[in-house]
Chains A and B, each alone.
Chain A
Amino acid sequence: MINGTVVDLSRIQFAATALYHFLFVPLTLGLSFLLAAMETVYVTTGKPIYKQMAMFWSRLFMINFALGVATGLTMEFQFGTNWSFYSSFVGDIFGAPLAIEGLMAFFMESTFIGLMVFGWQRLSKGQHLAVTWLVALGSNLSALWILVANGFMQNPRGAAFDPITMRMHLTSFQQLIFSPDAQSKFVHTSIAGYVTGAAFVAGVSAFYMLRKRHMDLAKRSFRIAVLFGVLATIGVVTLGDALGFVDAKAQPTKLAAMEGLWRSEPAPMPFNVIAIPEQAEQRNLDAVQVPAVLSLLVTHSLTGTVPAIDTLEKRAERRIENGIPAVEALKALSHDPQDASAMAQFDAHKADLGYGFLVQRYAPRLTQVTPAEIQRAAKDTIPPVAAVFWSFRVMVGLGLLMLAFFVLATLYSLRDRIQKKTWILKVAVWMIPVPFLADEAGWLVAELGRQPWTVYGVLPTWMSASTHSVGYMAFSLIGFVALYSIFIAVEMYLMVRAIRLGPPEHGGGGAEHSRPTLAPRPVPAAPYGTKLEG
């Protein structure tokens, strides 16, 4: 059996590296579309300022992209290195979207990004525009396949457990990719990326306007960004609502934790605006409630109800009792795959196999499992309520804040009065980190809310880790913390530096921000770094 500390360390490592990776991904998703939009305006109107904009923002894009790629490698390794049981158990299903992501999306994005950066002189206007759009398309398709994989962890569809090979196998590829959870989460997450990109461009542009630098570039960039931002924020809220609707059915424990719902109540159910959930006592120490709103929010009707934690624990107890014979049958089948009575027993109880695994943590041999052990395992099926409850509120609160900001900023920007509204510009600079925080909070809601499962209802987290020693896991965690701390310091330094330097304003006149041509030019005396400041 796997050491509990190893599982905890593996979880910390996964959360830390995933949250870190997710600092860079949303900006890539959003900025790639904004780059494509700016370049489209350039190609259709022929105004050189839009080319200058596309080129300037693509420099910042690349600083961010490098770390996104680097930390993405970690994620792909980590399933195998730290979660080997998980990987062999569901690799048949989970591995497929990851491989398709490489084949269909990441290859396209990465190949064309080289041409996007280096190909300005080699490609025609139209070709370069196509390349930029393919980068944006690639990064979004990439998110689609990653979230199809994640959707399987949230709501395992299209798969069944095979007692002969002792792992899950695919039964329907269509069900896997058209999972409602995956679809709504893909749209919600990628649009959250657009919001992140919009806030970034708006904030940096506001910084220039406040300093009266690069006014033309900043005003135009700001306007594109806030227009994009207002649409994206409306989308992210709408899809977030759809996702809650899906979760209410597929993951009732996550929903109950998100809403701090300890005791079942008749419809219409009240909504806890804020509360102080206390897991041990199974109640909210204090709560501010609005009547009837919860039923409206999650069932879109006044008569709908959702199960609370007390009901869900009772359900889990019954499923655990039913799951124990399934695990016992599986053990018999591992010794003799031809054992017909074991197979019959397995078939009768297989729907609750995962719940049988869950109680194995407290009763490894599964002989004479006590009611206390079953209750303990049933309590485990409830995720950490306070953390999920508050992550959710942080995400939603920041989302609404951004909506208000983008609406106001768009109004002033369209009336061309934004440069006079310094208070909005100052707010815009402060809004840069807000979507990043909301993104991270959203990740926490999704993944903490899924606990105690890696695959909801099928595979418990405690079984999923590799059988490493605590020393190994501590070593790798320390290594990642050290390496990643250096990386973020370097990235922030370069990003802030590139923003301060701003777009190059040499040339002017007819040579509209002239690009170096292939023809040899004299080497300027000034070194590379100082040229930008000129």
Chain B
Amino acid sequence: MNTFATAQVIWWLLLGVLLIGLAVMVGMDMGVGAILRYVGRTDVERRVALNIIGPHWDGNQVWFILGGGAIFAAFPLIYATAFSGFYVVMLLLLWTMIMRPIGFEYRSRIDNPAWRNVWDWALVVSGAVPMIIFGAAFGNLFHGVPFHFDWDMTSYYTGSFLALLNPFAVMAGVLSLSLSAMMGSLTVMNGAEGALFQRARALAQVAGLVAMALFAMGGFWVHALPGYQLLSVPGLGVPQTPLQQTVGVGGTWLQNFGAHPLLWLVPLLGFAGMLGAVLAARAARSHLGWWLGAGAWIGVIGSAGAALFPFMLPSSSDPSMSLTVWNSSSSELTLLWMIGFAAVFVPLILWYTSWAFWVMRGKVSEERVVNDEHAY
């Protein structure tokens, strides 16, 4: 592989890292939002739950923003095609996501049950819907998405909104929601005591078991979906467009696993993480469970990536126009500069994020929430 191809693969891996960061960090906040009305029965309980993630949700959300920015910078064709193709879904994702900052910030500013009730529902919706969409978008990649390009690379999406809600995608969406509910529950356990802790503990186990069942189901189901193969390309590490390749459809998406059996460790990590997180929740070891849950996310997203590689956005209406690591990336110069920036700043981000969590460590008490005028 030449430098360009290596840079493309590195960015594919980095994108995986950012997506896992998004799933873990945004996923846990979304999970707390989604389960807010279940685990928190009183206003004070809900405020405790919100204040557990209160100092962190803002920083965590940047994983999402950075994920979007990184796709834009490293794989502009994927960013352009996916964001415009999934139009209505993207709007749903956006409209629910923009309720979140406002929900967190404004909910507790007025002491009125109706006001808080509205924002609680907004937080539930803005927690659950984006995680379903996030998973469903991944699920759709296995079916392919109906798009093609003009001579000048104008993209056309020819599918409907409802086609994106096919059964496999819905399953992937619920898997993503249950994993984030599990992580949200573990996060609440980390910071809460008493009844709140116990409800979160029960929910973490249920959500984890549901996630395991769905992940297993997806593993069997994927055998029934036809996979894609690159038949001819201008070459690896050569600047190219999707108009210059041919793609065949047949077999399954598991060929990479057949060729490299060690890859089976990735889904295994997913199962082990989920099972471990469930057991840890049972044993009330929520911090351990959180880390195991993060491992589960690595396994789940890693499995999907490993199955699809080198495809990133397969086209169902014209498979030869599918977007791959090789044909949709930025130029070598951009990729190299961005690798440099990521190499410096991703470790820095992990360092100060860890510091922020360490500073705010410990349980959030009901008294503190009620007395602190800055609390949510």
Q: Which residues from chain A sit less than 8 Å from chain B, CB to CB?
A: 2, 55, 58-59, 62-63, 65-67, 69-74, 76-77, 79-82, 84-85, 87-96, 98-104, 106-108, 110-115, 117-120, 122-123, 162, 164-167, 169-171, 173, 330-331, 334-335, 337, 466-468, 472, 475-476, 479, 483, 487, 490-491, 494, 497-498, 504, 515-516, 518, 520-524, 527-532
> What distance in Å separates the Cβ of A494 from its nearest Cβ neighbour in chain B?
6
Q: Is the CB of B374 within 8 A of A120?
A: yes
Q: Is the CB of B370 within 8 A of A115?
A: no
Residue among A69, A71, A170, A472 making CB contact with B88, cutoff 8 Å: A472
Interface of A is mostly: helix
What residues on A are CB-neighbors of B109 within 8 Å?
63, 494, 497-498
What residues on A are CB-neighbors of B359 within 8 Å?
115, 119, 122-123
Q: Is the CB of A166 within 8 A of B334?
A: no
What residues on A are CB-neighbors of B104 within 8 Å?
66
- Given A71-B98, A76-B68, A521-B371, answer yes or no on A115-B80 (Cβ-Cβ < 8 Å): no
> What distance in Å separates the Cβ of B14 from its nearest Cβ neighbour in chain A?
10
- Given A70-B102, A95-B72, A99-B66, answer yes or no on A466-B333 (Cβ-Cβ < 8 Å): no
- Binary interface encoding of chain B residues 146-190 relative to chain A, with 1 for a CB under 8 A from any of its CBs, else 0: 000001111111000000000000000000000000000000000
- Given A69-B101, A98-B72, answer yes or no on A108-B352 (Cβ-Cβ < 8 Å): yes
> Which chain B residue lies CB-closest to A89?
B153
> What distance in Å separates the Cβ of B247 from its nearest Cβ neighbour in chain A?
18
Of B134-142, B295-303, B342-350, the segment with at least 4 beta carbons within 8 Å of chain A is: B342-350
> Which chain B residue lies CB-closest to A527?
B111
Q: Is the CB of B153 within 8 A of A118?
A: no
Q: Report the Cα distance A58→B240, complex, angstroms.
A: 50
Residue among A84, A104, A476, A524 making CB contact with B80, cutoff 8 Å: A84
Residue among B84, B342, B373 making CB contact with A468, cutoff 8 Å: B84
Q: Is the CB of B101 within 8 A of A468?
A: no
Cβ-based interface call for B246 (8 A): no
Of B89-97, B212-220, B256-264, B307-315, the segment with at least 4 beta carbons within 8 Å of chain A is: B89-97
Cβ-based interface call for B229 (8 A): no
Q: Report the Cα distance A96→B330, complex, angstroms.
A: 10
Q: Is the CB of A91 within 8 A of B79?
A: yes
- Binary interface encoding of chain B residues 69-85 relative to chain A, with 1 for a CB under 8 A from any of its CBs, else 0: 11011101101111110
> Which chain A residue lies CB-closest to B372?
A516
Of B31-39, B53-61, B282-290, the segment with at least 4 beta carbons within 8 Å of chain A is: B53-61
What residues on B are CB-neighbors of A112 within 8 Å?
59, 352, 356
Q: Report the Cα distance A62→B104, complex, angstroms.
A: 11
Counting contact residues on chain B (CB < 8 A from A), the size range is 35 or more
- Given A98-B72, A467-B155, answer yes or no on A76-B65 (Cβ-Cβ < 8 Å): yes
- Given A73-B97, A123-B359, A490-B106, answer yes or no on A468-B87 (Cβ-Cβ < 8 Å): yes
Q: Is the CB of B84 within 8 A of A523?
A: no
> What distance in Å separates the Cβ of A256 from its nearest Cβ neighbour in chain B?
30
> Which chain A residue lies CB-closest to B244?
A337
> What distance in Å separates the Cβ of B313 from its nearest Cβ neighbour in chain A?
12
Cβ-based interface call for B62 (8 A): yes
**Which chain B residues (1-25) contact chain A, with CB distance < 8 Å?**
none
Q: Is the CB of A483 within 8 A of B95?
A: yes
Q: Is the CB of A77 within 8 A of B94?
A: yes
> What distance in Å separates the Cβ of B235 from its nearest Cβ neighbour in chain A?
12
Q: Is the CB of B65 within 8 A of A73?
A: yes
What residues on B are CB-neighbors of A467 within 8 Å?
84, 154-157
- Given A74-B98, A99-B72, A528-B370, answer yes or no on A69-B61 (Cβ-Cβ < 8 Å): yes
What residues on A are CB-neighbors of B90 within 8 Å?
77, 80-81
Cβ-based interface call for B318 (8 A): no
Q: Is the CB of B72 within 8 A of A103?
A: no
> What distance in Å separates the Cβ of B123 from its nearest Cβ neighbour in chain A?
13
Cβ-based interface call for B230 (8 A): no
What residues on A are CB-neighbors of B341 within 8 Å?
99-100, 103-104
CB<8 Å pairs between A and B, sample of 8: A79-B83, A95-B79, A99-B338, A103-B342, A112-B59, A122-B360, A476-B91, A529-B111
Of B201-209, B273-281, B361-369, the segment with at least 4 beta carbons within 8 Å of chain A is: B361-369
